Amino acid sequence: GQQVMQIPQYQHVQEGEDFTTYCNSSTTLSNIQWYKQRPGGHPVFLIQLVKSGEVKKQKRLTFQFGEAKKNSSLHITATQTTDVGTYFCAGPRDSNYQLIWGAGTKLIIKP
Amino acid sequence: DTEVTQTPKHLVMGMTNKKSLKCEQHMGHRAMYWYKQKAKKPPELMFVYSYEKLSINESVPSRFSPECPNSSLLNLHLHALQPEDSALYLCASSRVGQYNEQFFGPGTRLTVL
């Protein structure tokens, strides 16, 4: 069945280091969405990518959508404590357009 | 108003109880969703309402019964739940269509004893 795979499961970084999470779909996606969930919180929409090869930036966050529209990445430059949380990618299912979620990558800042 | 509200925040219930979760949004969204989220897992879709009609049921057991009384409200009726149903239940809303972001409520943390 259609899958969205996301790695790594966890990433421990020192504050100020960079963070990257990768998403890979088993099928070509029409779009991909990214969400952030803070500890104890709910998912919050960050961005949607639609075009092949698209790159979007939000301050220290850079989002990319692959040329084949099957993979995506989120890169955070110089992490801060406010970046802590789990980052999910999600793409629409072919059959009914409902979101298929990646497993999430948990960003942990080392003390 | 870009907020989705959910009540209650926490719920503890026995396996023989009947309870309801409530969700409300005033963004004019005509798609509303129920998700279940277990710890360290992504949200798992349960139901989708589109224009107040149930459009998707992801093979959810009948002990979960959704209801959409109007375009702003979504309920999830619970009856005879099992301990493994303990989870965070999230409501979300969006415009109809695949290119629209979903707005999530804060969730109801459900514990079934």
How many whole angstroms separate alpha carbon B107 and alpha carbon B87? 10
Q: Is the pLDDT of residue B2 over 80?
A: no
Q: List, in order, residues 6 or more apart from A49 with CB less than 8 Å away.
A: A31, A32, A33, A56, A63, A64, A65, A72
- A10 interfacial to chain B (CB closer than 8 Å): no
The whole-number pLDDT of residue B109 equals 98
The alpha carbon of residue B49 is apart from the nearest alpha carbon of chain A, in Å, by 12
State how far Cα A102 lies from the chain centre: 8
**Between chains, do B90 and A42 touch, taking CB under 8 Å as contact?**
yes
Nearest to B93 by CA among B48, B45, B37, B36: B48
Average pLDDT, chain B: 95
- A5 interfacial to chain B (CB closer than 8 Å): no
pLDDT digits (tens, 9 = 90+) for B37-79: 999 999 999 999 999 999 989 999 999 999 999 999 999 999 9
Where does residue B2 rank: exposed (0-12), middle (13-18), buried (19+ CB within 10 A)? exposed
